[in-house]
Amino acid sequence: MTQVNVHEAKTQLSALIARVLDGEQITIARAGKPVVDLIPHERTTIVYGLLKDEPLPDPALFDGIDPEIQEMFYGPDWAEEPTQ
């Protein structure tokens, strides 16, 4: 494990990051006392389709929504049928 002081870490941050990404363990110290460890960020895996097997909500849940709220979202002509 490598220990560097705060001043060195500030001046050589990019190089220290590269070393950490290569697997080296680096500790930043203040006045010779360890303060923080530099560690690589671990990305989390995004799971697509998490709810794909879940049933869809009942459309009746959306019946009777306040027309004033509907108008706020969709405008004054939200209930009109499209003309052809």
The alpha-helical segments, DSSP class H, found in 1-84 are 6-11, 13-21, 67-74
What pLDDT is recorded for position 44?
A: 85
Of residues 8 and 62, the one with the higher pLDDT is 8
What pLDDT is recorded for position 80?
A: 64
- 15 near 21, Cβ under 8 Å? no
Assess whether pLDDT exceeds 70 at residue 33: yes
Of 18, 58, 41, 25, the residue nearest 4 (C-alpha): 25
Mean pLDDT (the chain) is: 87
Of residues 82 and 38, the one with the higher pLDDT is 38
DSSP 8-state assignment for residue 43: P
Of 1, 2, 3, the residue nearest 32 (C-alpha): 3
- 62 near 74, Cβ under 8 Å? no
